[in-house]
Structure 1
Amino acid sequence: MKLVRISGSPSAHSRSHWLLALAVERLQPQLASLIAVRELPAEALLGADVHAAPIAAALQQVLEADVVLVSTPIYKAAYSGLLKTFLDLLPQDALRGKRVLPLATGGSAGHLLALDYALRPVLNALGARQIADGVFATDAQLPRGAGNRFEAAPELLARLDVAVAGLLALAPLAQPQPS
């Protein structure tokens, strides 16, 4: 299983980035590459320069993946603009034939539906048909603990385990063959 994780958080020490790492830990893949969108060159990203080496490499990682995990903080009832900028660079069917798990964090449960009404339609437009039930975590479910690390509430861990099991249960669809 070739897994790529996409972190759409502008911060390296965010709850959504930590939730993504926790999901990968629970999946225990042999190979899991990370695309931290915040680390891609801003000028190339904003200029949609898909030929810039770091952008091209990130896009290729997504195209070669079997499983894609997408994590984002929710701002104003939508996923991050940083993630949107990256997703806009993907080819139209970039997620076809891949299993996808959306993950998100937000200040309150009031942002819970952003996974289904904002992120899921974009993943679907990119060809994803095997989208597992997403996991949304509030700040209260991921409080900061000792050493400035986040600690997941037991109910969050249980939901994450169910989502990971659901992701693994999805049968991958055949990749489209070039004509």
Structure 2
Amino acid sequence: MTSAWVGERVRLRATEPEDWEAFHSFEEDSDAVRNSWRLHPPSSAAYAKKRAAEEAERQPDLDAPELVIATKDDNAPVGSIVAHHTDRDHGTFCYGISIGTAHHRKGYASDAIVLLLRFMFFERRYQKAEAWVYSSNDASLALHRRLGFVEEGRRRRSRYANGRYDDEFLFGMTIEEFTELYA
């Protein structure tokens, strides 16, 4: 049996209530949280449990999936990936990805991105993926370039975090570019 949700290193899956502990621990690394979006005040374990339970019961959105990135071997959560700002009229979508610091540099992000793009392009008929990456996130900039994304633009000083302004880089990949690299 082959699953469209399983790659070389990871499987993408829905949130389970017991995932709360892993995601709660990922929030302890402020730099990693800032690289994903923005730093929030600490949340309680009770809130993390409630949020995971609510996510586990939510009906999946075919055009905006919110998925856990889990290791292929033991199904342990290592991060999350989400499609957002989906535009069916134009066939475009954005995505965001976050990997817990202890799981960086193991190929999980690249594997998860390819799985999500394959689903969005070949199952949902989207034709272009976009990702915004902060200029301070060198690892994500390198990852997107290595995956074959094209740098399409730059918004200067568009985010403030950790006492400094960051630029945002827009990366894009069309279905044709993806097919050439990953089909």
What's the TM-score once normalised by structure 1's chain length? 0.36
Q: Radius of gyration: which is bigger? A: 2
Higher relative contact order (CA 8 A, sep 6+): 1
Q: Counting helix residues as a fraction of each chain, which structure ranks higher?
A: 1
What's the TM-score once normalised by structure 2's chain length? 0.35
Q: Counting strand residues as a fraction of each chain, which structure ranks higher?
A: 2
